[in-house]
Chains A and B, each alone.
Chain A
Amino acid sequence: MTHSNKSSEQHSQPVISVRGLVNRFGANVVHENLDLTLNQGEILGVVGGSGTGKSVLLRSIVGLKRPNDGTIEVLGTRLNDLSEEQRSQVERRFGVLFQRGALFSSLNLQENIALPLIEHAKLGREEAEYLARLKLSLVGLSPNTALQFPESLSGGMVKRAALARALALDPDILFLDEPTAGLDPIGAAAFDELLVTLRDALGFSVFLVTHDLDTLYAACDRVAVLSQKRVLVTDTLARVASYDDEWIQDYFQGPRGRAAQHAHQN
């Protein structure tokens, strides 16, 4: 059983290592010489202003966008060098929650989650759908929603269902793009708790893009700040919060930052 222990992070080996990443859209340079490491079993919070390229970074790591330069190693291999077959083997160990949910609109909720279980884990339809309903219940959706189609869901429900789909295969690396945006505060707190419980039990690593300060305090082991086209600093929350940079100071010492910190200390 692999499970992370917060004090032994420095000994664990990286599951993702990004070196010298460059991403451009035409003349718009999004990343320049970006380095990032995600260690085994840790929850890494990725923060940054709107449009600083968090989603693009996530897409490059999971191989949806070919970087213009630099190397990205995931689970010890470079995705872009692999053959289709090998790549699919690596990709089934990912769970991805996209910023807009990206549920399959022509499948109902339980089919959305059962799909990877049927295709990759080779379960029968009924077993897969049973597990799918379990995952729905786990993320706080009633099994009665299992037969609904994504179009009939509220924004927060879409987020929860997308999380359930990301968790379907109990992945080794979980990529979450703003999972708590659009959740009610109770749901967001339950999400933080669920994430930590699952991480402790299953030992996966989490790349967590978020604007939610409470999530940073409650769930993240380390925080990476994206700014000026690169990762400005990656460290424990306390050390990042005291880093000498204007944006970071505004972020953590602003009214919301202080409120979240205060709430967490109590």
Chain B
Amino acid sequence: MPDEWLTVEGANISFQGKWTLDNFHALKSVLSQQGELSSKKKISLNGIERLDTAGAALIIEFIGIERAKQVPEWASELPKEQQALLVRIAEAMEVPLDIPPCTRHSITDALANIGQKMSDLWSQQRQLLAFIGLVLATLIPLLLRPHRWRFTATIAHIQQSGLNAVPIVALLTFMVGAVVAFLGATVLEDFGATIYTIDLVAFSFLREFGVLLAAILLAGRTASAFTAQLGAMKSNEEIDALQAQGLDPIELLVLPRVIAMLVSLPLLAFVGMLSGLLGGAVVASLSLDISLTQFMTTLQKDMSVTHFLVGLSKAPVFAFVIAVIGCLEGFKVSGSAQSVGAHTTSSVVQSIFMVILIDALAALFFMEMGW
């Protein structure tokens, strides 16, 4: 019932009851029913039991700021504290509180967005190239000065991104090895050539899958970790602090990570190759009646070491790209939590994309070279 808060008798309007946030909706609708307040009306605030900032704001909006600021003159029966509150809030409402609403969702905005995205993509690639240059320019002179190598940090990163990833890489490649063997067996059986399953598994793992699976795993596991670590440091101004002390964040933070990846990924790729082969061998011996000895001899006879080298040669490239993208995205983080999330996502997507792109280009190259 409306007269719980407001009663109107002729030219008198009196406020009463609890003008608090809990009743905000009801109070607002009571006031909107009143419409414009003419300055001739007499206002009484005596009946107010409770008043808080939200209630005061509503009253002031209704009676006008000027009148509210003079509350001590015309409402001296109101407790001093509430007068002070009304005056204080009226002062705060003197600055215009309405802000221009932001216009969105027009077609031009959509077009502008597309343009923005494209130019962002372009500048992202340029930044990546520039960052690679920066890292190399810092790395190469440092190679000649071993006393400035950061062994502890590098070893710690090798443990985190390399050693700790061994189980998951081994398990994953083992299972993919088994799947490839099954697929091969199913297709080749029609030609009575199940024995070539061995070649299929060996070929695919030595040249492609061992290193590719390891790289994709590290792109998901380590690139994201690098971005989140550096991003948190960035938003905590730690990187600025390093720079202000004349220390080089590239040398201190990026190089240990890049070097750790350059060490870890080839080793993990090797683990991946072995355990992929093992997966193939297990399937071969259990369901294709190809014994382990037969598997090994075929492997020795048919597979030249070139395949292994071709596969492994890609590992350092992948490692470098993943580490550099992870670190660069970390540096791009701005203060907010959201930005950490956005750049972590971007770093994983970019590094997986780059790994697969480079792998495809490399496959073409090696094919043309006949290696």
Contact = CB atoms under 8 A, between A and B. Distances in A.
Contacts of A197: 81, 84-85, 88
B96 A143 contact: yes
A36 B271 CA distance: 61
24 contacts: A1-B82, A3-B79, A105-B336, A105-B337, A106-B338, A121-B22, A121-B24, A123-B25, A131-B53, A131-B57, A134-B57, A134-B97, A137-B93, A138-B89, A138-B92, A142-B95, A143-B99, A150-B336, A167-B53, A170-B20, A200-B81, A201-B81, A201-B84, A202-B52
B152 to A, nearest CB: 24
Contact of B235 (A134, A147, A151, A170): A151
A-B pairs with the 9 shortest C-beta distances? A151-B335, A201-B85, A105-B336, A106-B338, A200-B81, A137-B92, A170-B52, A138-B92, A201-B81
A64 B99 CA distance: 36
Contacts of A149: 335-336
Interface in B34-55: 48-54
Nearest to B48: A1
B28 interface: yes
A198 interface: yes
A83 interface: no
A165 interface: no
Contacts, number: 96
B21 interface: yes
A260 to B, nearest CB: 24
B160 interface: no
Given A106-B338, A135-B53, A201-B52, 10 more contacts: A106-B336, A131-B53, A137-B97, A138-B89, A167-B53, A170-B21, A200-B80, A200-B84, A201-B82, A201-B85
A41 to B, nearest CB: 11
B24 A105 contact: no
Contacts of B88: 138, 194, 197-198
Interface in A71-109: 104-106
Contact of B95 (A121, A123, A131, A137): A137
B215 to A, nearest CB: 32
Interface string A101-131: 0001110000000000100011100010011
A106 B337 contact: yes
B334 interface: yes
Contact-residue size bin, chain A (C-beta under 8 Å from the other chain): 35 or more
A255 B36 CA distance: 57
B336 A144 contact: no
Contacts of B20: 170
Nearest to B87: A197
B50 A1 contact: yes
Contact of A201 (B51, B93, B337): B51
Interface string A161-203: 0000001011000000000000000000000001001101110
B238 to A, nearest CB: 15
B92 A134 contact: yes
Interface in A177-233: 194, 197-198, 200-202
Nearest to B49: A1
B337 A127 contact: no
A134 B99 contact: no
A143 B51 contact: no
Interface in B45-88: 48-54, 57, 79-82, 84-85, 88
Contacts of B98: 143
A196 to B, nearest CB: 9
A133 interface: yes
A117 B57 CA distance: 15
Nearest to A147: B99
Nearest to B52: A170
Interface string B92-119: 1101111100100000000000000000
Of B28, B54, B99, B337, which is in contact with the most chain A CB atoms at under 10 Å from its CB?
B54
Contacts of A1: 48-51, 79, 81-82
Contacts of A47: none
Contacts of A104: 337
A197 B51 CA distance: 13
B97 A151 contact: no
Nearest to B336: A105
Interface string A6-33: 0000000000000000000000000000
A146 interface: yes
A143 B93 CA distance: 10
